[in-house]
Amino acid sequence: MPGSGTDKTKDWVAGPAPMVVLVEPQLGENIGAAARAMANFGLSRLRLVKPRDGWPNERARWLASGADRLIDSAELFETVGEAIADCTFVLATTARAHDQAKPVYSPEQAAQTMAPRVQAGEGVAILFGRERWGLENDEVSLADCIVTFPINPAFASLNLAQAVSLVSYEWFKHISAGVLPFAMPNKSPPAPKQQLAAFFATLERELDRVEFFRPPDKRDTMLINLRNIFARMEPTKQDIQTLHGVVMSIVDGRKGPARGGLLDNDESAILRSLLNEQGHVVQERGPARGLARLLRRNPTDAERVLWDAVVTDRRFAGRFKRQVPVGPHITDMVSFPDRAVVDVVPNGESAEAGKTRAEKRGWLAERGYRVIDVQEAEITADVKAVLERVAAAIAS
């Protein structure tokens, strides 16, 4: 079973590559970590010059984290000269200027320089110095060029394994042309415009039903913004199918309309009739708020027409709220600054519902609210006339 990036079922990359020479490394842990970095980036030849804690070293094997073949095949030497005796091109890594007239390369430039030599079969080695003070001047003098890093000059000391990682990474990036080992899977083709148009039609319809586009004069701009959001996403067919399912699930509620989905005009009218006949006086604030949200989410056609007219009329801008509890009662529309309530009376209201409405009107009047009754038929016939009557009542 592959671990986090380690997969023994895949072939080990073992092409021609430079060898890494660690000069007098002090800690076995650093040797193991360096070996692990080499294995990450396809380098397999490790040479050690007089490791301080001797060799073999179990701490090195432990830190190699599976790169055992590098630890097992590591070669041991007494001097740097012996370690690079069979090489034709040597690079010395250092963070310090040694005042030696040699070409100075970045890790990326070093990889570009090494590649043709390695491919030609030359022996190429990269020297890495001691953890505490790096390479000596005489050791640097044995190299053909210097490799250094663009780094904070006030803190230029890299951990040994970090330095090996940077150089190894640039080597592997160069020989692999920077090709990543995997890419995002293409499990679904891009969504065609026809599918996007159908999704937007559904989204627009449902947002209209919950009066999302407010104020109405901003509706076209808001729709364009929504379309641009999805256009930037470049959605797939599956994306749009999922989003469509999300929208419809929200619309239908947990278990359909009975759990909070949208009702049509007739269903909304029946709901209000039942509440009025039973007297929708709620003694607790919490239930009143919940009922208000349900009614606000499911307006009748007449309520929707009246509300659209109110919010677009500058005389009432920002003054009215819809389906808000006032004490134990839920008002169709209320203006707290004007202490005014607009009560929409449905066509054919029953005597019981009328009695309940009268009780609510009396309760509000006792507390200083002006109640303006508006018949549904009035709204359907001439909503502008209704607005004039409401404005006149408030002004008086």
pLDDT bracket for residue 210 (50, 70, 90):
confident
Q: What is the mean pLDDT of residues 327-349?
A: 89
What's the burial of 279, exposed, middle or buried (CB within 10 Å: 0-12/13-18/19+)?
A: middle
pLDDT at 13: 65
pLDDT bracket for residue 268 (50, 70, 90):
confident
pLDDT at 261: 54
% of the chain beyond a pLDDT of 70: 90
Q: What is the mean pLDDT of residues 287-307?
A: 82
CATH of 265-395, one of 3.30.460.20, 3.40.630.30, 3.40.50.2300, 3.40.960.10: 3.40.960.10
Break the chain into its structural domains and give their ranges: 19-175, 193-259, 265-395
Per-residue model confidence as pLDDT tens digits over 31-76: 999 999 999 998 999 999 999 988 888 888 888 887 888 999 999 9
Of the ranges 10-19, 119-128, 228-237, which is most confident? 119-128
Q: 193-259 architecture in CATH?
A: Orthogonal Bundle (1.10)
Residue 212 has pLDDT above 70, yes or no: yes
pLDDT bracket for residue 354 (50, 70, 90):
confident
Q: What is the mean pLDDT of residues 197-205?
A: 91
Phi, psi of 250 (to 5 degrees): -65, -40
- Of residues 344 and 98, more confidence is placed in 344
pLDDT bracket for residue 258 (50, 70, 90):
very low
Phi, psi of 127 (to 5 degrees): -90, 135
pLDDT at 9: 60
Residue 282 has pLDDT above 80, yes or no: no
Q: Mean pLDDT, the chain, as a whole number? A: 86
Q: 19-175 architecture in CATH?
A: 3-Layer(aba) Sandwich (3.40)
Q: What is the mean pLDDT of residues 336-362?
A: 88
Per-residue model confidence as pLDDT tens digits over 100-137: 889 999 999 999 999 999 999 999 999 999 988 889 99
pLDDT bracket for residue 257 (50, 70, 90):
very low
What's this model's pTM, rounded to 2 decimal places?
0.55
Report residue 329 as tokens.
Answer: 């009662």
pLDDT at 278: 59
% of the chain beyond a pLDDT of 90: 49
Per-residue model confidence as pLDDT tens digits over 15-30: 799 999 999 999 999 9
pLDDT at 284: 47
Residue 81 has pLDDT above 80, yes or no: yes
